[in-house]
Chains A and B, each alone.
Chain A
Amino acid sequence: MDKSGLRRELGLLHATMFGIGGAISAGVFVMLGHATSLAGAAIIIVLPLCGIINLFTMCSYAELGAAIPSAGGEYTFAKVAYGGLVAFLTGWFEWISNAFFAALSSVGFAYIVLYIVPTINVPLTAIVMIIIFTVINIRGVKEAGTAETVMIVVLLIILAIYFLVGWLYGPGTDTLQLSAPRGFLGVAEATAYIFVVYLGAEAIAVTQAEIKNPSKTIPRAIILSAIALIVVYTLIAYVTVRAVSPEIIGKEVSPLTYVAGQMMGPLGTILITIAGMIAALSSLNTSIVAQSRVAYALSRDGYFPAAFLKIHRRFGVPHVAVIFSSLFTIALAATGVVQFVGYATDFGFIIGFTFVNLSLIKLRQKKPNLERPFKVPLYPFTPIAGIVTSVMLLLFIDVKVLMLGAGLIVLALLAYYLSIVGYYRIRIAFGGMSLGIGVFVAFLAYLVETELVPLAMSPILLYVLILVSAISILAGVLNITMPTRKIF
Chain B
Amino acid sequence: MELRKIVSKFVGVAQSGIGVLAIIFGYILYYDLFDIQHMLNASAQNVPLYILLLFIFGLLSVISGFFLIYE
A interface, size bucket: 20 to 34
Q: Mark A423-451, 1 if CB is under 8 A from B, else 0.
A: 00001001101100100000000000000
The smallest C-beta distance from A483 to any residue of chain B, in angstroms, reads 7
* Residues on the B chain within 8 Å of A391, using CB: none
* Inter-subunit contact A478/B18 (CB<8 Å): no
Number of A-B residue pairs at CB separation under 8 A: 52
* Inter-subunit contact B18/A434 (CB<8 Å): no
Expressed in whole angstroms, the Cα–Cα distance for A434 and B63 within the complex equals 10
Expressed in whole angstroms, the Cα–Cα distance for A474 and B65 within the complex equals 11
Which residue numbers of B lie inside 8 Å of A, CB to CB?
A: 1, 4, 7-8, 11-12, 14-15, 18, 23, 27, 57, 60-61, 63-65, 67-68, 70-71
* Residues on the B chain within 8 Å of A483, using CB: 1, 4, 71
* Inter-subunit contact B71/A475 (CB<8 Å): no
Q: Is A276 an interface residue (CB 8 A)?
A: no
Which residue numbers of A lie inside 8 Å of B, CB to CB?
A: 307, 331, 334, 427, 430-431, 433-434, 437, 468, 471-472, 474-476, 478-479, 482-483, 487
A479-B68 in contact given A430-B60, A437-B57 (Cβ < 8 Å): yes
* Inter-subunit contact A471/B63 (CB<8 Å): no
Count chain B CB atoms within 10 A of each CB in A334, A468, A475 and give the residue with the most: A475
Q: Which residue of A334, A430, A482, A487 is within 8 Å of B63 (Cβ)?
A: A430
A434-B61 in contact given A479-B67, A483-B71 (Cβ < 8 Å): yes
* Residues on the B chain within 8 Å of A430, using CB: 60, 63-64, 67
* Inter-subunit contact B70/A475 (CB<8 Å): no
The smallest C-beta distance from B24 to any residue of chain A, in angstroms, reads 10
Closest chain A residue to B57 by CB distance?
Answer: A437
* Residues on the B chain within 8 Å of A434, using CB: 15, 60-61, 64
Closest chain B residue to A123 by CB distance?
Answer: B31
* Residues on the A chain within 8 Å of B64, using CB: 430-431, 433-434, 475-476, 479
Query: Can you list 21 contacts pairing A with B, beta carbon distance less than 8 Å?
Result: A331-B23, A334-B27, A431-B67, A433-B60, A433-B64, A434-B60, A434-B64, A437-B61, A468-B18, A472-B15, A475-B11, A475-B12, A475-B15, A475-B64, A475-B68, A478-B11, A478-B68, A478-B71, A479-B64, A483-B71, A487-B70
Expressed in whole angstroms, the Cα–Cα distance for A211 and B9 within the complex equals 40
* Residues on the A chain within 8 Å of B67, using CB: 427, 430-431, 479, 482
* Inter-subunit contact A487/B11 (CB<8 Å): no
The smallest C-beta distance from A480 to any residue of chain B, in angstroms, reads 11
* Inter-subunit contact B11/A437 (CB<8 Å): no
Closest chain B residue to A426 by CB distance?
Answer: B67
Which 8 residue pairs spanning A and B have beta carbons closest together? Answer: A434-B64, A430-B64, A475-B15, A471-B14, A475-B11, A474-B11, A427-B67, A478-B8
* Inter-subunit contact B11/A471 (CB<8 Å): yes
* Residues on the A chain within 8 Å of B23, using CB: 331
The smallest C-beta distance from A341 to any residue of chain B, in angstroms, reads 16
The smallest C-beta distance from B1 to any residue of chain A, in angstroms, reads 8
* Residues on the A chain within 8 Å of B68, using CB: 475, 478-479
Closest chain B residue to A488 by CB distance?
Answer: B70
* Inter-subunit contact A472/B71 (CB<8 Å): no
* Residues on the A chain within 8 Å of B7, using CB: 474, 478
Closest chain A residue to B31 by CB distance?
Answer: A123
* Residues on the B chain within 8 Å of A433, using CB: 60, 64
* Inter-subunit contact B61/A472 (CB<8 Å): yes
A471-B57 in contact given A431-B64, A433-B64, A487-B70 (Cβ < 8 Å): no
Expressed in whole angstroms, the Cα–Cα distance for A468 and B58 within the complex equals 12
